[in-house]
Amino acid sequence: MANTTKAKEKKKGGFKMPHLFFLMLGLIMIMSLATYVIPAGQFATDPETGALMGDSFQYIGEQTPVSPWRALTMLLQGFMNSSYVMSLLLIGGGTVGVIMATGAIDEMINWAVYKLQDKGVTVLVPLLFFLIAIQGAFGGGDQMIAIVPIGIMFAKKLKLDPIVAVGVSFLLHS
């Protein structure tokens, strides 16, 4: 019996997705190398609003490549500049993870679906939309992406497409 299990494991080999960290580093390296090949250019900005004007692109006379090493060292500066958003995202994600581990939200959704069996989607989707809109109005930001798993669980219970969950829980704070 152990031999058949090992044989099945060998057959499953195939392609295994690399870790997200290596994918991101690979993309950084590819983009860094692309700065050596793709000509540099810029868009003009509106003097009043500072917005980019899409019809005014021009090439810059000199190439401004970014070495792969410099691209990696610029990560630290990017982390420092976005530390507020990242910390809120980590705290929000951790909070949602703890709440979901208790099963409280799962039980609440089961109760709501049971009580509103005949009009579940027409009542529960607008209710979830309203609750997340209130939260977004009083303290929402980029960290609200951590709420998407709750929306996905909600959509699964109602047998809806996961895009509904993303639409209800994510698009509200944009």
66: Cα separation from own chain's centroid: 27
pLDDT (tens digit per residue) in 9-61: 555 668 888 888 899 999 999 999 999 998 888 888 988 888 888 888 888 88
The structure's pTM equals 0.48
CA nearest neighbour of 116 among 164, 155, 158, 151: 158
pLDDT (tens digit per residue) in 98-146: 887 888 877 887 887 777 767 767 777 777 777 777 777 776 666 666 6
pLDDT (tens digit per residue) in 50-98: 888 888 888 888 888 999 999 989 988 988 898 887 887 788 778 878 8
CA nearest neighbour of 173 among 110, 111, 89: 89
Q: What's the confidence (pLDDT) of residue 120?
A: 66
